[in-house]
Amino acid sequence: MFKLARLIACVLFPVLLALPATAQNYPNRTVRIIVPFGAGGPADVYARILAKYLSEETKQSFVVEDRPGAGSLIGTDAVAKSAPDGYTLLLMSNTHTTNESLLANKPYQLMRDFVPVATINYSDLLMVVNPSVPAKTVAEFIALAKKDPGKLNYASSGPGTPYHMAGELFKAMSHTDIVHVPHKASGDARNSVMAGNVQMMFDAVTTMSALAKAGKVRALATTGLKRNPLTPDLPTVAETVPGYEATIWLGVMAPKGTPQEVITFLNTSINKVIELPAVKEVWLKQGAIPLVKTPAEFEDFLHKDIAKWAEVVKISGAKVQ
């Protein structure tokens, strides 16, 4: 018995010793944060801020890699197929929770192939039109859309993105027929609206407000239930379409099987970063509100958001084009 116990101890001790070492040694090389959206959008912008401060916090390099396309599927699938070691992370948004019901044939399933790490922030969207559109209010835009059903278009960065779903929800609640024009990335969608190729778009207030102030587009409303502090004189869509609400939030997930010690380490580090006064100050000026959750709270949040957008997909009749 003594020899058997000794043998078991010899086998298990190195294993047990290695468990805490995973957390102690992580990260010991570059960590990639994959952004499955285009450069210049809120996901890309905030991923770079996060990477900068995480590099300082952990004394190890965190780098951002943009892999846009197919409404976030390309970059997301790449992360799903990555080694579950904490060195490849996914910067995700409510695009992903929407895609769970909108895209039946995805190569991955969010809650099967990923684990929640941490939330980052959330912000309102801005409803904008090209300056040539003869509508200066939401009511006038709705009237214009009803006058010529199917003539007006709205841009998005792809199926299932918050911009797409904000448009579909608007169509359903305003009883209008507006054509969805998906783009590969949010920057492409913005360029289409500014060029007048597409008439309208819902975009993150954090990235679109500067273009509106510069006169590149005309802002009609924000999409929260309350007026945005960045644009207090601008009404909400809900002031014309009661109950309308559409925001964008960001979070980080890792491939399923990533060690729990690594998830805990990342959650703690990310929460430290987004609570830094310097970070909060910059984000609040941009209209982004820090969102702090534990991995368990984030998991619960994800399940609820998947259910919410499944209902929106059902009500709006949204389809992938």
* Cis peptide bond prior to 134, omega within 30° of 0: no
d(CA 307, CA 311): 6
- Poorest-confidence range of 16-25, 54-63, 84-93, 238-247? 16-25
pLDDT at 17 over 50: no
Per DSSP bridges, beta strands 153-156 and 179-182 are: parallel
The neighbouring-strand residues paired with 252 are: 91, 118
Per-domain boundaries in the chain: 2-122+248-316, 124-239
Answer whether 156's CB lies under 8 Å from 170's CB: no
From the centroid of its chain, how far is CA 221? 21
pLDDT at 159 over 90: no
Taking alpha carbons only, the member of 157, 155, 116, 126 closest to residue 305 is 116
Mean pLDDT for 275-303 is: 94
Q: Which CATH number fits domain 2-122+248-316: 2.160.10.10, 3.20.20.60, 3.40.190.150, 1.10.3260.10?
A: 3.40.190.150
pLDDT at 24 over 80: no
Model confidence band, residue 112 (pLDDT cutoffs 50, 70, 90): very high
Per DSSP bridges, beta strands 114-129 and 218-222 are: antiparallel
What's the token pair of residue 62? 């965190």
Q: Which CATH number fits domain 124-239: 3.40.50.150, 3.40.50.410, 3.40.190.10, 3.40.50.1370?
A: 3.40.190.10
Q: Is the C-alpha dihedral spanning 289, 301, 246, 41 positive or negative? A: positive
Q: Do domains 2-122+248-316 and 124-239 have the same CATH topology?
A: yes
d(CA 169, CA 314): 10
- 275 φ/ψ angles, rounded to the nearest 5 degrees: -95, -5
Model confidence band, residue 23 (pLDDT cutoffs 50, 70, 90): low
d(CA 34, CA 53): 16
pLDDT at 62 over 60: yes
- 169 φ/ψ angles, rounded to the nearest 5 degrees: -65, -40
pTM of the model: 0.79
Per DSSP bridges, beta strands 114-129 and 153-156 are: unpaired
Mean pLDDT for 51-78 is: 94
